[in-house]
Structures are given as structure tokens and as C-alpha cells.
């Protein structure tokens, strides 16, 4: 059997750029993103797949990157919050809606929340309030009480937003 600390070469396309990193098998995807690739917009909250702060997209699906190994993402296409706009200087439509509706306070949950909203509106372009709350059940916010997040999503849906 190979040594347990053998390194594995992982190649991902992240926000359109191809990156190759050698990691331990036990390296979590969120640590690859934050520490190896320096994309610190993706946060670690609970580290137990409850809070959703680490949500990114793998091959177009919102997932919790604290509960995926970096080696499992080899060959995958990943989008993080940094990848939603070309330069990072302007706001993407979901971010702009959050800004407009005051859907964040401390902002810690926001990157994960934004990634989940993209998935929610892909799956349900015209969600009810219940659909929105149910669709964001994997993201915990301790500041807003969620009402303004729901309003931001409703405004995106009413404008026919497509992620």
C-alpha cells in the first residue's frame, strides 16, 4: 500500500483558469480553494456541512466545499464568488440585489448564500416565498433574519434573472 501521506496531483478549472496543485488525499476542497489558490471569498463557517458559508459550484451545482475532498474535484470545473464577475470590481446581479435589499449585515454568510441563490433560481425561476426559504435551507445567516435575503431573491426572480 502507498504511504498515507502521498501527494495527489489535482487539476481544476476554477473561475475559468486551469490550476494544478499537489495535495494530501485528506485536503478538503475548501482549503484547496482558500489556502492553495488564495481565493478567500469562500468561507469556512461551521466546518460540518451545516452552515453553507463554504458553498461553491462544482460543474454547475452548489455544494459545500468543506465536505468534499480536493482529490474528488480533480478534473472538475469550479465557480467561486470571485468568478461571478470578470474583474471582481463590479457586482454580479445576485450581489447587486443583496446590496439593494440590505440582504447582508456582517457578510460572512453572503458568498455562500449568493452561490445558493444562483442554484435556487436555476432550478426554480419563479419561486414562491416558501420555495426561497426551503431552497436556502442549507445556508445559515445570523444577522439578517432572512427576510431581506428573501426580498432580494424575489426581486431577482421578478426581473427574470438567469444565472
Partner 1 sequence: MIPAAFDYVRASSLAQAIDLLRDDPDGTKLLAGGHTLLPALKLRLASPELLIDIGGIAELKGIEISETGIRIGALTTHAELFASEPLHGELPIFRQAASLIADPQVRNRGTIGGSLANADPAADWPAVVVALQAEIEIVGPNGHRSVAARDFFTDIFSTVLEPDEILVSVHIPRPRTGMHFIYRKIRHPASGFAVVAIAVGVRLQGGAVDQISIGVTGAANHAFTGQHASDFLLGKTLSRDNIDKAATLLSETTECLSDRYASAEYRANLIRVETRRALLALSS
**How near is the Cβ of 103 to partner 1 at its closest, in Å?**
18
Nearest to 23 by CA among 70, 57, 87, 63: 70
Compare residues 79 and 119 and give the one whose CB is closer to partner 1: 119
Compare residues 72 and 106 and give the one whose CB is closer to partner 1: 72
Paired with 10 in beta bridges are: 21
**How near is the Cβ of 150 to partner 1 at its closest, in Å?**
15
Q: Give the interface with partner 1 as residue ranges (CB under 8 A).
A: 1-6, 8, 24-26, 28, 47-49, 52, 55, 61-64, 67-69, 71-72, 74, 116, 119-120, 123, 134-135, 137-139
- CA angle 123-127-128, nearest 5°? 150
- Phi, psi at residue 107, to the nearest 5°? 90, 0
Compare residues 1 and 89 and give the one whose CB is closer to partner 1: 1
Q: Is the dihedral of CA 24, 30, 31, 35 positive or negative?
A: positive
Paired with 11 in beta bridges are: 20
- Cα gap 122→132, rounded to integer Å: 12
Nearest to 12 by CA among 64, 55, 69: 69
**How near is the Cβ of 86 to partner 1 at its closest, in Å?**
26
1 burial (CB, 10 Å; 0-12 / 13-18 / 19+) is exposed
Compare residues 48 and 87 and give the one whose CB is closer to partner 1: 48
Compare residues 6 and 11 and give the one whose CB is closer to partner 1: 6
**How near is the Cβ of 160 to partner 1 at its closest, in Å?**
22
Amino acid at each position: 500500500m502507498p504511504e498515507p501521506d502521498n501527494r495527489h496531483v489535482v487539476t481544476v478549472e476554477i473561475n475559468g483558469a486551469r490550476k494544478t496543485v499537489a495535495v494530501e488525499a485528506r485536503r478538503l476542497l475548501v482549503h484547496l480553494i482558500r489556502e492553495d489558490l488564495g481565493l478567500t471569498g469562500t468561507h469556512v463557517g461551521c466546518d460540518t456541512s451545516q452552515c453553507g458559508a463554504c458553498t461553491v459550484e462544482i460543474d454547475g451545482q452548489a455544494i459545500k466545499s468543506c465536505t468534499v475532498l480536493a482529490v474528488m474535484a480533480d478534473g472538475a470545473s469550479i465557480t467561486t464568488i470571485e468568478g461571478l464577475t470578470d474583474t471582481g470590481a463590479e457586482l454580479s446581479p445576485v450581489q447587486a440585489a443583496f446590496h439593494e435589499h440590505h440582504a447582508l449585515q456582517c457578510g460572512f454568510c453572503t458568498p455562500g448564500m449568493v452561490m445558493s441563490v444562483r442554484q435556487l433560481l436555476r432550478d426554480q425561476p419563479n419561486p414562491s416565498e416558501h420555495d426561497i426559504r426551503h431552497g436556502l435551507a442549507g445556508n445559515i445567516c445570523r444577522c439578517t433574519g432572512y427576510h431581506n435575503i428573501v426580498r432580494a431573491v424575489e426581486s431577482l426572480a421578478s426581473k427574470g434573472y438567469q444565472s
